[in-house]
């Protein structure tokens, strides 16, 4: 909301300058641009509002529940005893060795008996190692019970 107010004020200031210089058609185009930016933000907000990914463990399985932007829910289950959590680079051959942002190109996976499921695709790279560690700890705790 604050961003849209800032964009609107900046657009109004720019269009006012052009209007005072005699280029009044610019005002309409700036208004059109502001309206398009608003529509894009609104569409993105409503699309991501329904999206989520929930992971829960209940013996003897780990459940991954996902909802897409249209609200459709998909649940996958994996047996706990064979689960492994790991991170891997998406394109190892084309990555420079001195890339400081190597973690941004890593994905988090849960594998079990030949199935490989990516989780946390929407997470920033800084959070993926912590999620991997927490999931590994949860799996180990469930295996000991």
Q: Could you say which residues of the chain have pLDDT below 50?
A: 103
Q: How remote is the C-alpha of 9 from its chain's centroid?
A: 29
Cα atoms in the 13 Å half-sphere on the side-chain side of 51: 11
Res 104: pLDDT: 56
Res 82: pLDDT: 84
* Entry pTM: 0.63
Res 93: pLDDT: 61
Res 47: pLDDT: 76
Task: Give the integer Cα–Cα distance in Å for 5 and 49.
Answer: 21
Res 35: pLDDT: 93
Contact 123, 53 (CB under 8 A): no
Res 102: pLDDT: 54
Closest by alpha carbon to 128, among 139, 119, 117?
Answer: 119
Res 49: pLDDT: 79
Res 101: pLDDT: 57
Res 40: pLDDT: 92
């Amino acid at each position: 909301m604050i961003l849209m107010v800032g964009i609107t004020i900046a657009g109004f200031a720019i269009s006012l300058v052009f209007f005072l210089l005699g280029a009044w058609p610019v005002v309409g185009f700036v208004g059109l641009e502001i309206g398009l930016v608003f529509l894009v933000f609104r569409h993105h907000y409503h699309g991501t509002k329904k999206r989520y990914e929930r992971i829960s463990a209940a013996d003897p399985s780990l459940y991954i529940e996902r909802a897409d932007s249209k609200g459709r829910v998909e649940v996958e289950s994996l047996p706990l005893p064979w689960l492994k959590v790991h991170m891997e680079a998406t394109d190892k051959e084309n990555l420079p060795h001195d890339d400081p942002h190597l973690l941004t190109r890593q994905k988090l996976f849960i594998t079990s008996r030949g199935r490989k499921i990516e989780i946390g695709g929407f997470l920033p790279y800084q959070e993926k190692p912590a999620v991997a560690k927490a999931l590994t700890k949860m799996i180990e705790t469930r295996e000991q019970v």
